[in-house]
Amino acid sequence: MNYRPAVFTWLALLILLGISLLATAMASTALRYTVHFLCAIAMAALVMVVFMQLRATSGLLRLFALGGLLWIALLLMLTLADVLTR
């Protein structure tokens, strides 16, 4: 078995985690949240492409994965709309 992609993905996830942890020391709140969200998106994309093997699957499974991402994005937007309007 070839473990090289999994090991490189794990290392990339650790690096992104480190970047996210370092972002907590930033003075700018907007920049900090932007870095956190970008790291989270990159982590999710790495997990989906490498560990879930979406690159080698059928179009229907990719469509459902995209639908799940859109559903989470909708829930996040509704949560932010509620929090920001208070």
* Residues near 35 by beta carbon (within 8 Å), at least 6 away in sequence: 19, 20, 23, 26
If you count them, how many residues does the chain have?
86
Q: Is the dihedral angle over the CA atoms 49, 54, 56, 62 positive or is it negative?
A: negative
Instruction: Give the span between the Cα atoms of 35 and 33, in whole angstroms.
Output: 5
Q: What is the pTM of this model?
A: 0.75
Q: 3-56, pLDDT tens digit by residue?
A: 898 999 999 999 999 999 999 998 888 888 889 989 998 999 899 889 888 888
Q: Is the separation of the CB atoms in 41 and 21 below 8 Å?
A: no
Asked if the model's pLDDT at residue 1 lies above 80, the reply is no
